[in-house]
Structure 1
């Protein structure tokens, strides 16, 4: 069973459905797409470590409530206690969920409905990675990556979107990767799932134009987090990129929040990664294919 770490005060702060009678999707006169972070209810997946944990820390000072979802209940409990000690008026709900399990994902969404959860900002941060030749990859790991990086992200977005549309306000921040801009030999499945996230975010943003809802894809390069310890190279070394492109997790999250508030479609933290992605996207595909063939075993570093 999942951990339900809430007090009466917490539940009052978090729960409360979207108001009715609001304009429908695309109605003329809808407010511009801006996210009001002060007093918002935030749902963060993959919140027990890394980028997700940093989102919780940076948003704790302005949010009304946080719903933190991850697999590791002990880490979530530690983070909840830390945040509530620093911010006594903040309501924090933790949910132990493995998003690679469709049954647990479904139960989470049913909990939203049962408790009339109100989400103003959804941060789809949970993600899995792996590296190595696809021909020798673990099929189960590949399936888990797809379920977490693609299926869970799309399902949670679909589930909370109607209430945002009804309120004519809200934000969706999808954590993608710079690996999603280009094919990445050695991280074939991971890069493909992140290409989905970026494309999904751009298309959804276009669909929601004029609704008051912001959609942003965060596409970081290498970030020194626990993700790199889990997504290891075939030789067992953690996935850490070159130092000149490494960006501190605090800056990654700060840039993402600023980008969301500014209604930017894509956020790439760090000047070096911005430049690298610009050059990569300007490279003709025939030349890119030649370059990729020269490095058939290259690993993803993001």
Structure 2
């Protein structure tokens, strides 16, 4: 069973930059309609113009929405219903992260991250998947991060939110087997994308070497290919895939020991420079840290 991308309506959150934008670009000649969702209306309109220039027959709906505000998400869904837009495929690509010791983080920022990374995809999926099941066709592509299976001092809330998405996606996929709805999770590590300037990570974490990183376009391409094959989970990038396999066999105490080194440096105000593997090194600390929602 393949998700109904071709000639379907695809809703993409976080569409104004990074992986979400690249997914929109790569589906511009396949989907009938793209619903682009993010907080920045100006960037969405720029992307809409670009997509129309590439494919004048493509339907593009721009929906400015702050996913940290549940009432905005409700307004988005109400707007789609009023305009008779029936979503065939949902891409939950928006994410928000931060880099700080937990006790130094403001509660408002923590709450914001949880709303964007957890509440928004839950709400969108809940409101849309029932119609997919009724039509016996649909797809849900959740873009998470390597942090969902890792320990990362300085990103406790971000890792927790990604672990939640991991458990939710795997369980939802099992529930929907045989309904015609395809569910896949993308778990990237180091992707060349816009990093949140307010996260603080740029001053505290050295950027990964080029051989560890992949482009947002490649991440999007591998995600779409895996989604169409019905793969439960994809780790874009050859290096990341191999390091993920290594990480899966490492004992928990080894991961704790590696994380402790980073935690001590962070507590002392020193840059976290040494990557142990993508989940405890540069890849995890930079993956998905974006304000785009």
Tell me if both proteins adopt one fold, taking TM over 0.5 as the criterion: yes
1:287, distance to aligned residue in structure 2 (A): 2.5
Alignment correspondent of 1:108: 76
Among residues 226, 238, 243, which one is paired with 1:271 in the alignment? 238
SS in structure 1 opposite 2:112?
helix
Alignment correspondent of 1:28: none
1:226-268 deviation digits (Å, cap 9, x = unpaired): 135454317377x843322101111100000000000001110
Alignment correspondent of 1:192: 160
In structure 2, relative to structure 1, the CA distance for the partners of 1:253 and 1:234 (3 Å cut) is: closer
- Conservation of the 8 A alpha-carbon contact between 2:151 and 2:256: no
In structure 2, relative to structure 1, the CA distance for the partners of 1:214 and 1:51 (3 Å cut) is: same
Among residues 280, 294, 298, which one is paired with 2:247 in the alignment? 280
Matched residues in 1 for 2:196 and 2:19: separation?
A: 12
Structure 1 unaligned segments of length 5 or more: list them: 1-32
Among residues 30, 39, 46, which one is paired with 1:78 in the alignment? 46
Alignment correspondent of 1:289: 256
1:170-196 deviation digits (Å, cap 9, x = unpaired): 110001001111121111111111111
Moved over 6 A (4+): none
Among residues 167, 170, 184, which one is paired with 1:216 in the alignment? 184
- Conservation of the 8 A alpha-carbon contact between 1:228 and 1:240: no
Among residues 269, 286, 292, which one is paired with 1:301 in the alignment? 286
- Conservation of the 8 A alpha-carbon contact between 1:50 and 1:227: no
TM-score w.r.t. the length of structure 2 is 0.87
1:195-219 deviation digits (Å, cap 9, x = unpaired): 1111111000000011111111110
What is the root-mean-square deviation of aligned Cα atoms in Å? 1.6
Does structure 1 residue 253 correspond to structure 2 residue 206?
no
1:2-48 deviation digits (Å, cap 9, x = unpaired): xxxxxxxxxxxxxxxxxxxxxxxxxxxxxxx3213210100000111
- Conservation of the 8 A alpha-carbon contact between 2:201 and 2:286: no
Among residues 99, 104, 107, which one is paired with 1:131 in the alignment? 99
Among residues 24, 34, 40, which one is paired with 2:8 in the alignment? 40
1:153, distance to aligned residue in structure 2 (A): 0.5
Matched residues in 1 for 2:50 and 2:254: separation?
A: 50
TM-score w.r.t. the length of structure 1 is 0.85
Alignment correspondent of 2:150: 182
Matched residues in 1 for 2:257 and 2:50: separation?
A: 50
- Conservation of the 8 A alpha-carbon contact between 2:145 and 2:187: yes
1:63-82 deviation digits (Å, cap 9, x = unpaired): 10000011111111111011
Alignment correspondent of 1:241: 208
1:110, distance to aligned residue in structure 2 (A): 2.0
Matched residues in 1 for 2:14 and 2:230: separation?
A: 23
Alignment of 1:163-178 (within 5 A): 163-178=131-146
1:101, distance to aligned residue in structure 2 (A): 1.2
Does structure 1 residue 148 correspond to structure 2 residue 116?
yes
